[in-house]
A and B are shown apart, each in its own frame.
Chain A
Amino acid sequence: MASIVEPEAAATHDHHGDHPEFLAHHFETPQQQYDTGKLGMWLFLIQEILFFSGLFVAYAVYRANHPEIFVYAHQFLDKSLGAFNTVVLLLSSLTMAWAVRDSQLVNNRGLIRNLAITIACAFLFLGVKAVEYSHKWDIGLYWASKFAPTAEHHGGSMILFWLCLPFILISVALIAATVVSKQKNYEQGYRFYGILALASVAFFVGVGCGFVVPAVAGSDSHGPAHVEEHAGESDHHVVATHADPAHALADDVESPRNAGIFFSIYYVMTGLHAVHIIGGVIALAWLLWRALKRQFQAEYFGPVDSVGLYWHLVDLVWIYLFPLLYLIH
């Protein structure tokens, strides 16, 4: 039991009179509150790790038993987009860590700026992900029971549109809220909604990157040509005339049996990860709100630290998902 934490509060009992507002009634000192919150967050994170572990087990079991499916399926995942999104998340982790630093040093401007960049990175990530999903669904690469790869694009950009629609609505709502707040001279709301509106636009930048990045990376010598490259073109485009994977795609017979399960696992893993990103955005927006109200102080930055830990964990999961899903040979 040598590692067990002794209560720091034990030492200091003289704090009783001055109980700052941020300090909950059942804690003795700000440090006790901070340590408790942090331990709680770590416990939540290990819960998250075990939650995701089920997906990694399913992945491992399936890959061990059916390696051929993974070799076949990986060619439909765009390495360049995966790498791009990895960089986006790493950048968001940097700004998040910086936000924690700012909150510890009570640098409120820096805190707000870094939170805003982190939120924008999250939207950027989701934009790229939307493009990736829509490209796959375009050519029938659904989960197992709906898995029916076809050579033709069907639905085309409509799938992408439906994926973007919620974000369009969110952006519009945020812009509207910004305008209304401005008109009503509601300063706090104006800044809050304004920052979020700007950040949410990053989603559409992400969608743009989803098209541009593979095109740029495709000129590199590495990496096979990708089906995704053609998605930007007309809706009823026949892929069969194109490079290797498209060819494999045209020949349904060659796709190994049960290849759909790879995509099932892919969608569950990345989908649950995306849900965590969205949850993180909500938590970050909450921090932003409180930062704008200047609620964080020298002895009270625990919430920033805790959300930061959560955000890094989401990054951590992606650090493993990237090689496991995108970099298979």
Chain B
Amino acid sequence: MSATVATQSAPHPQADAPTNYLTVTRGWRSWAFTLDHKRIGVMYLVAVLSAFLLGGIMALILRMELVTPTRLFLSEDLYNHMFTLHGAVMTFLFIIPSIPAALGNFLLPIMLGAKDLAFPRLNLASFYLWVAGAIFFLLAIVLGGLDTGWTFYTPYSTTTNTSVVTATIGAFVLGFSSIFTGLNFIATINTMRPPGMTWFRMPLFLWALYATSIIQVLATPVLGITLVLLAAERVLGIGVFDPKLGGDPVLFQHFFWFYSHPAVYIMILPAMGVISEVVSVFSRKHIFGYRFIAYSSIAIALLGFLVWGHHMFTSGQSQRAAIIFSGLTFSVSIPSAIKVFNWLTTMYKGSIWLATPMCYALAFIFLFGIGGLTGLFLGALATDVHLHDTYFVVAHFHYVMMGGTLIAFLAGLHYWWPKMFGRMYHEGWAQLACFIVFVGLNLTFFPQFIMGSRGMPRRYARYDAEFQPFHVMSTTGALLLGVGLVICALVLWQSLRRGRKAPANPWGGATLEWHCASPPPLENFAVAPTVGDPYDFDGLVYKGEEEGYVFEPKKQPAKREAEPEPATV
């Protein structure tokens, strides 16, 4: 299999005068109307990072307010607005599109060996739907804010006089952005694989994106109709969710969580896909249990639809339903654990290279372990009644969303950064940022487990003085986390300005994106590549003058002219 890998690596005939996707055309129009998946991916990257900045600033404001049990600078009302917008912005604008829409868009066709996604225009439309959704969210902030919590629970969301409808439209539009991305990915993976790219030669990141896309297509429309009904409830008073008119407010929760529980897998599955890539490459060892990891992605996607009621244990749901949902919730932990064990076994006896992406991947495994295991406390009926709506829940999902998705996003960003922008970042500073982020995350959220289990309720602006030490710790951690992320941003920014040119394959990855130049040319592959095992590192040899790896087959003569970048430092 290693032989086939190398035979195709003549990526661009005119390797002497390489134009890449960044330089091939110029001017803002060439970006605004681009149909190139790579440019759309980069635009998504900029977009979701700005949303992350906005949500992050809100988080810091919230944490600052919580340093004292009494009012510091935010009124209760403003506090409610702030945590709602923090949640809504982070969920809908950042975490859901982060890995699939930004990294996935860029990488999926390249890793597959295709020229583009199946529907390039639809892809651009998804991006502009994201932009439209973001504008509606900003409008909601300006026009009266939002204080319902990101979940829009009725009956409060039908009675509050904040701009629920505007935010609803925003979330609706973002939902369709997400649906179209998923649809595009499924169609691409199903029909556009080149010769030799069988299902089980696909990199696991693509399996993860495929599973994610299934959820996006199946679950997100239910969010759409839920939001339509909610908007109709507010504007017209249709009464479906309004008990005053005989409607059922708990029905809203069923509708909402039918989407929003699977949505947490939209957030975490691509993250797991990134980790599968990184762990294997930086352990220089074939991924352990490829098929188990691939199938477990699909299993998580499907099982994720069966457990939404665990968000409703205390909402008056029937006991029978609660017991069923609790049991099913535990079943989701099986495929998740399969993945973790496979990553650990991949590292076992590997020659681990602690480059920045790997540091993030190790942080992911640790943090996701904590986040996942504390989920079991919340999935168990008896303990959930005690822990429901406390900081324990907040800590749990931040460990999964931040410790999981964000960290994996950063791992992927550092891993593919040289490919995306053709520049290497400063390894030492990037690792320092990773370390600070890791410490900051734990310091922020671990105390929240403790105060949650002692009864500190979530979403409160004021609290009992006994919790203050924990809140102070948590705020300190948040500031530290912020510092880490700023360093990380500076390191990456600096690499764009001063970084040395990246080789085609700086890490020695065997997946197809490392076969084309850094950054890739416009159509990725001049000739459809032939495909080998994505985790077979045998043919990869480090070349000093390239400062990267080259594919050097054992049997055939090396096709060295394949390397497009001459060694310049």
Chain A residues proximal to chain B, CB less than 8 Å:
1, 4-5, 7-10, 13, 24-28, 32, 35-36, 39-40, 43-44, 46-48, 50-55, 57-58, 61-62, 66, 143-146, 257-258, 260-261, 264-265, 267-268, 272
Contacts and interface: CB of A to CB of B under 8 A. Distances in A.
Given A25-B115, A51-B221, A51-B224, A5 B246 contact: no
Contacts of A264: 232, 236, 238-240
Contacts of A10: 193-195
Contacts of A13: 195, 528
Nearest to A52: B225
A320 to B, nearest CB: 15
Contacts of A143: 236-239
Given A7-B193, A50-B221, A40 B528 contact: no
B120 interface: yes
Given A25-B115, A36-B188, A261-B245, 4 more contacts: A58-B240, A146-B237, A264-B236, A272-B228
A264 B239 CA distance: 7
B184 to A, nearest CB: 7
Nearest to A46: B217
B186 interface: yes
Contact of A43 (B187, B226, B528): B187
A73 B132 CA distance: 40
Contacts of B247: 144, 261
Nearest to B109: A26
Given A7-B193, A32-B191, A143-B238, A257 B229 contact: no
A137 B119 CA distance: 43
**Which of A26, A32, A51, A53 neighbours the largest number of chain B CB atoms within 10 Å of its CB?**
A26
B114 A145 contact: no
Q: How large is the interface on B (under 10, 10 to 19, 20 to 34, 35 or more residues)?
A: 35 or more
A265 B247 CA distance: 11
B218 interface: yes
Given A5-B190, A51-B225, A25 B240 contact: no
A37 to B, nearest CB: 8
A53 B258 CA distance: 12
A35 to B, nearest CB: 5
Interface in B201-230: 217-222, 224-226, 228-229
Contact of A61 (B122, B245, B251): B251
A57 B250 CA distance: 13
B186 A43 contact: yes
A145 B187 contact: no
Interface string B302-343: 000000000000000000000000000000000000000000
A4 B183 contact: no
Contacts of A267: 238
Contacts of B226: 54
Contacts of B188: 36
Contacts of A8: 191
Given A5-B191, A258-B245, A26 B238 contact: no
A175 B188 CA distance: 43
